[in-house]
Chain A
């Protein structure tokens, strides 16, 4: 987070708690998103419910204006340029997650017709959820072997419990047919990490993913639908 952002965040946190108009509520919610967007939770914070843009006319119009502005920017990813509708949804998701719309745009794409998170976004989403601290990837087994695996460990802020996600191993990837996706052969360590993060999120903060899968999950499952021909022919 830049120095300016920090100042803005500070100002937002110190803002007087006076009754606000809907417009002001919305503005404050957006500044607070910036404060949460540091992606590293240091202390438990109350969940901030942003104004529901779908139920509030003013909030809707305000978000629409923002979406129109963003869609005309050459700094947003190309697939969002000229698409205020997509920018609108990205802003809504960002305000629910508590991160920047640009972050959502960079990490949310449509894969095989489904909106999905980039694999690397999961870890950041877990951190941005402000429910865990000391979030880390733990690798087990020998690289290159079937027992090589990864899981995510973290400290839950509400009770200080150490929690961990499902262990994802190469044997599991092979068994599920994910390895038909060539990335599992070319960069298995990275894929183990991404998958471990999405499994952790599904288990411990499923709402943070907003029901979306990660791009790699979609590609893997699609590849796995067709069992590997090489294996079939070898087995026949």
Chain B
């Protein structure tokens, strides 16, 4: 299943639910708008997709991406070669030779990192899991980078992230700000439905600049629990909005004017 097919399929995904998180600027209004007007991936997102594909599904890489030939498009010959290349694309996405070189270098480092092979080798990559949330009856879906069963039957989920700071502290800050705890909880929930046993969740974080340092961090019980609380909250909001067809914005469900209050640090100045 391609990314596009997955997005179009039934069920609520992690990235959609995240748009309901009012603590990070989300609202049901935004959720609805983004659902009807999906965002085009940014350059950084596209680069992340390239590295993901090269790392986890190298065999089908060429079916989705094509590296632009190194030609001077100002010359007649260059133009001709490039035109021929564009002709041959067949819906594939063009990537620059520089991006490809960087992605290859990153994947080389990943492959040499201890435990990476043990974590993602011999595992299902980009597997889709669907289930129905018992409390709300809502259909949920996830697409995991990598999942395999360990010898005792425990599902081991691995998620690969490119980041600016892969140190445990740096990654944690980013993780909490952009909801990786929520992601780990939703994925563990899905895996438990699929495999019937509580899952473990591991992040492989890699920095985007040389030497492309890699860190491997397992999501702790408390980390996942924080995300689980958030998952329950967001799916609850989604269910209520859907049931009442009220996709409220910043003014809240009952339309009220908020207060701009000074935080403690500013009122002490």
Question: In the assembled complex, which residues on chain A have CB atoms less than 8 Å from the CB atom of B150?
Answer: 232, 236
Partner of B221, one of A226, A229, A232: A226
CB-defined interface of A119-158 with B at 8 Å, one 1/0 digit per residue?
0000000000000000000000000000000000000000
CB-defined interface of A11-24 with B at 8 Å, one 1/0 digit per residue?
00000000000000
Partner of A222, one of B115, B119, B221: B221
A233 near B115: Cβ-Cβ < 8 Å? yes
Q: Please provide the chain B residues from 113 to 151 with a CB less than 8 Å away from any CB of chain A in the complex.
A: 115, 118-119, 150-151
- Residue among A225, A229, A230, A236 with most chain B CB within 10 A: A229
B151 near A230: Cβ-Cβ < 8 Å? no
Partner of A230, one of B115, B200, B221: B115
A226 near B200: Cβ-Cβ < 8 Å? yes
| A49-B175 Cα distance, complex, nearest whole Å | 52
Question: In the assembled complex, which residues on chain B have CB atoms less than 8 Å from the CB atom of A226?
Answer: 200, 221
B119 near A233: Cβ-Cβ < 8 Å? yes
B200 near A229: Cβ-Cβ < 8 Å? yes
CB-defined interface of A201-230 with B at 8 Å, one 1/0 digit per residue?
000000000000000000000100110011
A233 near B118: Cβ-Cβ < 8 Å? yes
Q: Is B12 an interface residue (CB 8 A)?
A: no
Question: In the assembled complex, which residues on chain A have CB atoms less than 8 Å from the CB atom of B64?
Answer: none
Q: Is B202 an interface residue (CB 8 A)?
A: yes
B151 near A229: Cβ-Cβ < 8 Å? no
Q: Is B10 an interface residue (CB 8 A)?
A: no
Interface residues of A, count at CB 8 A: 8
How many whole Å from B185's CB to the nearest CB in chain A?
A: 15
Q: Please provide the chain B residues from 206 to 238 with a CB less than 8 Å away from any CB of chain A in the complex.
A: 218, 221
Question: In the assembled complex, which residues on chain A have CB atoms less than 8 Å from the CB atom of B202?
Answer: 229
When C-beta atoms are compared, the residue in chain B nearest to A229 turns out to be: B218
How many whole Å from A199's CB to the nearest CB in chain B?
A: 25
When C-beta atoms are compared, the residue in chain A nearest to B202 turns out to be: A229
| A232-B118 Cα distance, complex, nearest whole Å | 10
When C-beta atoms are compared, the residue in chain A nearest to B122 turns out to be: A236
| A225-B221 Cα distance, complex, nearest whole Å | 10
Question: In the assembled complex, which residues on chain A have CB atoms less than 8 Å from the CB atom of B118?
Answer: 233, 236
B119 near A236: Cβ-Cβ < 8 Å? no
When C-beta atoms are compared, the residue in chain A nearest to B198 turns out to be: A226
| A236-B151 Cα distance, complex, nearest whole Å | 8
CB-defined interface of A177-214 with B at 8 Å, one 1/0 digit per residue?
00000000000000000000000000000000000000
Query: Which residues of B are in contact with A by a Cβ distance under 8 Å?
Result: 115, 118-119, 150-151, 200, 202, 218, 221
Query: Which residues of A are in contact with B by a Cβ distance under 8 Å?
Result: 222, 225-226, 229-230, 232-233, 236
**A-B contacts besides A225-B221, A229-B200, A236-B118, 12 pairs, CB < 8 Å:** A222-B221, A226-B200, A226-B221, A229-B202, A229-B218, A230-B115, A232-B150, A233-B115, A233-B118, A233-B119, A236-B150, A236-B151
What are 15 pairs between A and B in contact, CB < 8 Å?
Answer: A222-B221, A225-B221, A226-B200, A226-B221, A229-B200, A229-B202, A229-B218, A230-B115, A232-B150, A233-B115, A233-B118, A233-B119, A236-B118, A236-B150, A236-B151
| CB-based closest 7 A-B pairs | A233-B118, A229-B218, A233-B115, A236-B118, A236-B151, A232-B150, A222-B221
